Structure 1
């Protein structure tokens, strides 16, 4: 019997606090990804067979040049972002799943776009949009099926597909989908690296459309949850 994938912390609490405070500050653009979006984006980069170059990854997180106090702070922030990607790869290679720094329960009263799950999924989809060919070429049906929960929960496609939007707004259904996210990231990683006969068959749900530009990339709403 296969072992159950275990949650693998990608950063410690101090690093999470560091990124949360900086990405929630006026040192970055209003369109910069917050901690949750950056976390999702970097995991997507770890999954992709054609990840962006380091400078391009950082540019995607910060949107425009960030204002650092000094080179020491810059190195600390950028190193934490790099570590997200590196540790995600280590987790997947060990057959484990990333430990997500927030509660997956979506039953709380909260603005749709401010829930950490939605921000994380929007950041993850940003990583997919950075090179859709790498994600879908040769795996279109399987990738689309595995990515569907990310698409629904991100809220980026609500205007394009009201039916999916309704699913994502239902607290019980949204929580059910959110609870699948860690293992779905591992499934996606294995999709591109497992032998073809082991990759499974997709449902043919189709390729997602591009990101809706009238949806903000960041919500900058909540600090990371401690002690899962």
Structure 2
């Protein structure tokens, strides 16, 4: 389980490097997510309560259709993205924490200047694809679980509550440390049904003593 097992990598180093090279190449729109953002985005899709069509997430991640060299390259790059997402699902399904592509510390830097902020921004882009579905059930609980991702993403810096969280170094570092566990908590929130309280047994009324009715 997550308490004893080391975090699970979602792609090996060679696969990550291959995807990184492609995302940084001229084949991809400059506004596309980078490797760190794409990692967060795909992990969000693994958690999401509803499936996102491939055409939708491809357009969002790559900011349009990349200029693939050929069908083989298209299959390879999209296959790596699909593998990352599916590996996240497999890890979370077995209660394991995913390995994140950065150290879990800010080192005194603002989150938006670190890979942590980039990853969380990518994660939130995945949430925005079907925001209504994420918050459809138990909105307060989902908002609580997503708060660290939102605060660290830098996308909500104009909101006073978010700004206060990330300008307190100790609190910001604590939020970062929570990310792997929160990913698992979110996944389980959408996959494990809530336990309904057992109905209270009805008390049986004591039977009257024979011959007691009508006694004076």
Instruction: Give TM-score scaled by structure 2 length.
Output: 0.84
| 1:211 aligned partner | none
Per-residue deviation, 1:108: 5.2
SS of 2:57's equivalent in the other structure is helix
Instruction: Give TM-score scaled by structure 1 length.
Output: 0.79
Per-residue deviation, 1:63: 0.7
Contact 2:111 2:166 in 1 (8 A): no
Q: Are positions 1:67 and 2:87 aligned together? A: no
SS of 1:18's equivalent in the other structure is helix
The aligned runs of 1:82-101 (5 Å cut-off) are 82-101=82-101
Pair 71,156 (structure 1): closer, same or farther in 2 beyond 3 Å = same
SS of 1:84's equivalent in the other structure is helix
Q: In structure 2, what is the Cα distance between the partners aligned to 1:49 and 1:80?
A: 22
Q: In structure 1, what is the Cα distance between the partners aligned to 2:76 and 2:170?
A: 39
| 1:167 aligned partner | 165
| 1:123 aligned partner | 122
Structure 1 unaligned segments of length 5 or more: list them.
Answer: 199-228
The aligned runs of 1:119-198 (5 Å cut-off) are 119-159=118-158, 161-197=159-195
Q: Which has the larger radius of gyration?
A: 2
Pair 94,171 (structure 1): closer, same or farther in 2 beyond 3 Å = same
Per-residue deviation, 1:83: 0.5
The RMSD of aligned alpha carbons is: 2.0
Per-residue deviation, 1:166: 3.5
Pair 119,2 (structure 1): closer, same or farther in 2 beyond 3 Å = closer
Identify the structure with bigger relative contact order (alpha carbons < 8 Å, sequence gap 6+).
Answer: 1
Q: In structure 2, what is the Cα distance between the partners aligned to 1:2 and 1:165?
A: 31
Structure 2 unaligned segments of length 5 or more: list them.
Answer: 197-216
> 1:114-139: per-residue Cα shift (whole Å, max 9, x none)?
41111110111111111112111112
Contact 2:44 2:127 in 1 (8 A): yes
Q: In structure 2, what is the Cα distance between the partners aligned to 1:163 and 1:2?
A: 30
Q: In structure 2, what is the Cα distance between the partners aligned to 1:75 and 1:133?
A: 31
